[in-house]
Amino acid sequence: MSRFLRVLFWGACFSVGGLSLLPVEHLPPVAFDWWDKAQHAMAFLVLGGLGLLAYSEKPGCIVIGLLVYGAFIELAQAASGWRYGDWQDWLADAVGVGAAYLGWIILKPARSQGQTSMSHRFLTFRTIFLDRVSVIRSMKSNDRCA
pLDDT above 50 (res 139) = yes
pLDDT above 80 (res 59) = yes
CA distances from 57 to 26, 61, 76, 104 (A): 38, 9, 30, 12
Q: Please state the rounded mean pLDDT for residues 128-143.
A: 62
- Max mean pLDDT among 33-37, 119-123, 141-145 falls in 33-37
Q: Do residues 9 and 51 lie in contact, with contact meaning Cβ atoms separated by under 8 Å?
A: yes
Q: Where are the domains of the chain?
A: 2-108, 115-146
The CA distance from 91 to 96, in Å, is 9
pTM of the full predicted structure?
0.68
What is the chain's length? Answer: 146
How do residues 69-101 score in pLDDT, each as one tens digit? 999 998 888 888 777 778 888 899 999 999 999
Q: Do residues 54 and 2 lie in contact, with contact meaning Cβ atoms separated by under 8 Å?
A: yes
